[in-house]
């Protein structure tokens, strides 16, 4: 079946630190992979996506590379800011299951000045 | 920028009562979804809706749940007789279906508390 396993949180980092949030997946078919972010009081917002193996999604300094060999889609940012404090969700959409998304549990990130 | 909205932001109800959660998807979108997240657990798919009918539903979406698009703008999730375990954050999402990966746009969620 389809599932996403995401690094447990919460994660606390100092400003300008390097961020990695691990995400691995299990899928039948050819999934597309996503990172969503949820700021306090707001909905899930698409952060970046990748639709095929070796694609790199990037946005706002965040990057993730679709690694089929390791079934991973780890989120990275070289230098976090206080404004990056949020909950981050890894998700997949598999073509053989229509449009439904499969999410990880979410990782809460707090960046301290 | 267009966004998905949900009301109420927080709903408290007694076990056995009916609740209706409301969503206004982005206006030109064609696909609509409900997800839920029980505290500390994964965001789980409940149901998808297209062309005025359910296109997919999960095991969670049993006879106690129903969805409706009563007019051109609202998309509702009804729980007929709430249970304690229905307490969760419920997210509505919509997509236009034109991009190959069906990017979904999410609302801020409704927190349902069943007492």
Q: What is the pLDDT of residues A21-78, one digit of tens each?
A: 999 999 887 889 999 998 887 778 899 999 889 999 999 999 999 999 999 999 999 9
Best probe of the A interface among B6, B61, B106, B109, by most A CBs < 10 A, is B106
Tokens of B77: 């999730």
Nearest chain A CA: its distance from B17 CA (Å): 26
Q: Which residues of B touch A93 (CB under 8 A)?
A: 101-102
Of the partner residues B3, B48, B108, the one whose CB lies closest to the CB of residue A100: B48
How far apart CA A67 and CA A73 sit, in angstroms, is: 6
Phi, then psi, of A96 in degrees rounded to 5: -90, 0
Q: Kindly list the residues of chain A whose beta carbon comes within 8 Å of any beta carbon in chain B.
A: 4, 32, 34, 36, 41-46, 49, 51, 89, 91, 93, 97-106
Average pLDDT over residues B17-36: 94
Is a pLDDT exceeding 80 seen at residue B100? no
pLDDT-above-90 percentage for chain B: 68
The pLDDT, as a whole number, for residue B39 is: 85
Is a pLDDT exceeding 60 seen at residue A96? no
Put simply, whether B33 touches A (Cβ < 8 Å) is yes
Contact A49 B101 (CB under 8 A): yes
Q: Do residues A47 and A61 make contact, with C-beta atoms less than 8 angstroms apart?
A: no
- Lowest average pLDDT, out of A96-110, B9-23, B62-76, goes to A96-110
Question: Which residues, including other chains, have CB under 8 Å from residue B69's CB and lie 6 or more apart?
Answer: B32, B49, B52, B75, B76
Q: Do residues A92 and A99 make contact, with C-beta atoms less than 8 angstroms apart?
A: no
Question: Which residues, including other chains, have CB under 8 Å from residue B70's CB and lie 6 or more apart?
Answer: B76
Q: Which residues of A touch B10 (CB under 8 A)?
A: none
Is a pLDDT exceeding 70 seen at residue B101? no
Put simply, whether B54 touches A (Cβ < 8 Å) is no
């Amino acid at each position: 079946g389809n599932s996403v396993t995401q690094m447990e949180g919460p994660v606390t980092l100092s400003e300008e630190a390097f961020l990695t949030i691990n995400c691995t997946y299990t899928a039948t078919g050819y999934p597309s992979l996503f990172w969503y972010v949820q700021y306090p009081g707001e909905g899930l917002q698409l952060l970046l996506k990748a639709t095929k193996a070796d694609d790199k999604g990037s946005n706002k300094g965040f990057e993730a590379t679709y690694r089929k060999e390791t079934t991973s889609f780890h989120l990275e940012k070289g230098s976090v800011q206080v404004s990056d404090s949020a909950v981050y969700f890894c998700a997949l959409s598999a073509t053989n299951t229509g449009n439904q998304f499969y999410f990880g549990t979410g990782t809460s990130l707090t960046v301290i000045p | 920028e267009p966004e998905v909205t949900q009301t109420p932001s927080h709903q408290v109800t007694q076990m056995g009562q009916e609740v209706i959660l409301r969503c206004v998807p982005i206006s030109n979108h064609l696909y609509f979804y409900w997800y839920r997240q029980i505290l500390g657990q994964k965001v789980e798919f409940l149901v998808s809706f297209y062309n005025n009918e359910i296109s997919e539903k999960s095991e969670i979406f049993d006879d106690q749940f129903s969805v409706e698009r009563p007019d051109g703008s609202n998309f509702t999730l009804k729980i007929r007789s709430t249970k304690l375990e229905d307490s969760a954050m419920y997210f509505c999402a919509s997509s236009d279906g034109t991009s190959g990966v069906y990017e979904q746009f999410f609302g801020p969620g409704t927190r349902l508390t069943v007492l």
